[in-house]
Chain A
Amino acid sequence: MWSSARTIAAGDLVIVWLTRDLIQPLYITPGKEFNSKFGVYRHADLVGVPYGSKVGSRNGRGFIHLLRPTPELWTVALPHRTQILYLADIAFITSWLDIKSGSRVIEAGTGSGSFTHSTARTIGPSGHLWSYEFHEARYNKAREEFGQHGMQDIVSITHRNVCKEGFTVEDTVDSVFLDLPAPWDAVEHAKQALRKDRLTRICCFSPCMEQVLRTVSALNDAGFTEITMYETLLRPQDISQVPPLQTISEASERLRECEKKREEKRIKQIADARSRGGKRKRDGNEDEAGGEGTEPGATQEEDGLESKRAKTEEDPSSGLSISDVVVATTNPEQGSSSSSSANLHIRSPPPSMTKISLSKTFPEVRGHTSYLTFACLLPAFARAAASQANSGEVDRLEEGGDGVTAGLKGEGIGSDSLSVSMEVDVS
């Protein structure tokens, strides 16, 4: 399955990583060209390049990374033919079913082959996977693909409706995975295919609760035990780096600074208006009156910009606005220039200040893929013993009415179970 050589050879499947959201499979065929919005690449040029290499395009329009295929990369790169199983589900199913090196597994249906690739990797050459697909076109496509990926020794794929015809093996596999619209119809067949000499396991993958309930009932009827159900998800985290959060004393300082500047500006405007002199004195008065009403908003906006700039720029002095300079020169005795640059020092973090990393869940995440229903099947001899014991049990129960076999346990018999109230007894 796939090349394990250090370098890429002709005929290899390579995963081309263009961006995080654009990952494509590529079969290396010298003579062909790979065209993308990140440039043009000749397949022949990629032969001999180590896996994992960054390669620049011939026309300088970008670069790509050439990766070794893994089932996980293949899953995100593959052309989706059906709803595919994602990493979290596949991984959880694999561990619950105890799929490992050498395992024998049944899968139905094959779908787009996502679980097939993952399982073929995990069981390795000493294991075997029997895969069944009832859709002919999908079956043909999958078979071709498994051949291309060198999986034909590990995976046998059969075109068949397993709900009607059952599986091709009997008393053979360690686990069965059913991803079918009506898994309950395949449960009895699965039971036949599972090994009888040891504990075996089954998983049914269904998106709807109604399917789960029918499956659970079919599993129970067929004698499966430890029936349980899980839902699992993987939530990507959005990580960002930001400067340390500001304290409120910094906010307070900034607000006071704003107010001070606004006041200085107002005084300056009054002074300007006065200096314009006699002829326009009346207009100037109107300006002054209007200024008090409208100016603050405008200045605030300016201050906002200014403080933003001050935060981002390293040199605090460049953060001084023209109005600061004007104020400073016109009123040198107030020392506003020095005090404001001192404040700016506080507000803008020194360049050496480390940033903090933040993590949060993305606003929209996948909320549900499917319900994973699991169950175990005991070895045949234990099932036989069990059914004998069970029938004996039923007889006894019928004879003795409430005669129940048991052990004893102090706690728990009370509280929620049988209880009798004083009142009822007395009456």
Chain B
Amino acid sequence: MNANIENSIEAKVEEVHLSFRESLVVLAVVSIVCLASNWAGTGINPIKALPAMLIIYGMIFVGLLLTKYVRIGFPAVAWVSLISVLLTIPVSPVSAAILSELKNLNFLSIVTPVLAYAAMAITKMEVDLFKRSGFKIAVISILVFTGTYVGSALVANALL
């Protein structure tokens, strides 16, 4: 295939990795964005939702620390998820307190900005790839997504 695509794929793979400090700074900005989105979506003002956001920030902070120092191939998402699950299981002493604060943060409202960033991040290479072999790949992709989703749902449905 075209050498152009190949080069740009390589460029794409060489992604920018944020350092620990940079991650924390970005996280602070993203938290502000989330508070604004949450405000627009739920009417809960940022001051009321701030404790919830700080709890989230704390969980992620610990998650990023663990990702940095405990190198067992666990990605940050897995650490963060593990921490928040463990803190809120029924036997956890802080579970009730965390849950009552986090009610102020709507789960869909904090995804809205993520998709906005995702759309901004689409690169020239991705647009080109789409234009060039868009149709075939689009059809195959839809089949892949549908097959995976329906396959999993069928198995789960049969075993529930």
Partners in one complex: no
Instruction: List B residues at the A interface (Cβ < 8 Å).
Output: none
